[in-house]
Structure 1
Amino acid sequence: MTLKLKLIIFLSLSILVVTGLIFNVGFSDDVHDIKEVVIASQNDPSTEVIHIEFLNDRKAIAFYERATHEYKYFGNVALQQKLFNWQSAGGSASYISKDYPLNWTFSNLEKQGFNDYTDLLSGKITDPKIDVVQIKTKNDNEYEAQVIEYRPGEKFWFFVSDGENLIGSTVTGLSKAGEIIDEITG
């Protein structure tokens, strides 16, 4: 083989390898990868990822439930996509209490490296009458959280702020008719 032919073969193989890496990174199964990271971060096989919210192409929040023999927990994991994989940036969880129609947890996303986002409020809804969740901040700004039904009769809510501090906000769970079912201040 001539040197020119060897060089052409080498360059062709290099282009194929680089193209394969780009294709693999760009089109990997993000949902599957995120679920694996979340389950590994909890070190508990009972962990079930119930929803993934992609904030942009490199940041996501995964919501999960997990159960022990005595308790059931609802939580979230903030994730960032690195060059070849998704990595946990932290999260929070809370015990699901049937005594409270509207459970909640708080995460400061800025401290987890999510510079475009400030805070995350989220929680499990245990009262089936709650269909709307509203947030009123200490600055009197009002927002409506997303309510996700992930199984028949099972819902959770979340809200991501992009600049406003949510500490001290009042969270209100309402029926479709606007009746206040539960209200909490955190």
Structure 2
Amino acid sequence: MSKKLKKTLTIGSSVVLLIGAIFIYLVIKDDYQMIEDEVASYYARTPDIAHIEIDGQYALALYERGDGQLQFHAGVMELKKTWFGWEFISATTEDAERNPQYIELTHFSIIQQAFFPGVDSVTVELKNGETYSAPIVKGENTYRRWFYYSDTEDLAGAIVTRYDKNGDKLSEVKVPDEPNEGLSGTVD
């Protein structure tokens, strides 16, 4: 065999092995772990993941991180699926508040709120009159929070109602008409 043919076969074999290794890595490593890794790559101290919501080729990661001063920040990161995993699109990390946050990211709009015990269910009524139940999530080391997101619906001015376990109304809050109002940590 000529040296040129050996060199070509060696390089070709290496490329095929590399592509195969990448494919196996992506098949074995699940989407949730890749999303957690992507979120963690943006912070010096790894945040605690409260929930990951995958919607087709896009995902939302709800997370919390402390600042070392006994204050925690609630964050939302928006990601897009690529050939090599999940890629950051936009995010916001804000001081956790008792008022709902209306956040507009690149692909999704989201309403969220961290809260403490006593709330059993949350509904979101949009301006068009449609009402949805908002999921309540809690990660291993995070506070409970509810969220509602959409890539098509207008969330401005939505009415959020919180209920206790008996179905009694605890509070009703109107979401701001403008997204990202009062938020300082939005990153694009």
Same fold, judged at TM 0.5 (above): yes
Flag structure 2 segments of 5+ consecutive residues without an equivalent.
176-188
Query: Which residue identity lines up with residue 121 of structure 1 in the other structure?
Result: I
Secondary structure, aligned partner of 1:37: helix
Q: SS in structure 2 opposite 1:62?
A: strand
1:151 Cα deviation from its structure 2 partner: 4.3
Aligned mates of 2:2, 2:73 — CA distance in 1: 66
Identify the residue that residue 185 of structure 2 maps to in structure 1.
none
Counterpart residue identity of residue 139, structure 2: Y
Partner of 1:49: 49
Select 1:157's aligned residue among 122, 137, 146.
Answer: 146
- 13-22 vs 73-82, which moves further: 13-22
Residue 32 (structure 2) aligns with: 31
Q: Name the structure 2 match of 1:106.
A: 102
Name the SS of the counterpart of 1:26 in structure 2. Answer: helix
2:71 aligned with 1:71, yes or no?
yes
The gaps in structure 1 that reach 5 residues or longer are none
* Aligned partner of residue 150 in structure 1, secondary structure: coil
Residue type at the aligned position of 2:18: V
Q: In 2, distance between residues paired with 1:135 and 1:44?
A: 35
The one-letter code sitting in structure 1 at the alignment partner of 2:80 is Q
1:22 and 1:129, CA in 2 relative to 1: closer, same or farther beyond 3 A?
same
Aligned equivalents of 2:154, 2:87: Cα separation in 1: 25
Deviation of the 1:92 alpha carbon:
2.3
TM-score, with structure 1 as normaliser: 0.76
CA contact (8 A) 2:66 2:72 kept: yes
Task: Tell me the SS of whatever aligns to 1:181.
Answer: strand
Greater relative CO (CA pairs within 8 A, separation 6+): 2
| More divergent stretch after superposition (139-148 vs 8-17) | 8-17
Residue 12 of structure 1: how far off its partner (Å): 5.0
SS at the partner of 1:24? helix
Match of 1:21 in 2: 22
Relative distance call for 1:152 and 1:34 in structure 2 (3 A) is closer
Quote the Cα distance in structure 2 between the aligned partners of 1:11 and 1:129. Answer: 62
Percent sequence identity over matched residues? 24
Question: Could you state the TM-score of these two structures normalised by the residue count of structure 2?
Answer: 0.76
Aligned residues between the structures: 173
What is the aligned partner in structure 1 of residue 180 from structure 2? Answer: none
Q: Distance in 1 between matches of 2:51 and 2:155?
A: 22
The match for 1:122 is 112
State the Cα RMSD in Å.
Answer: 2.8
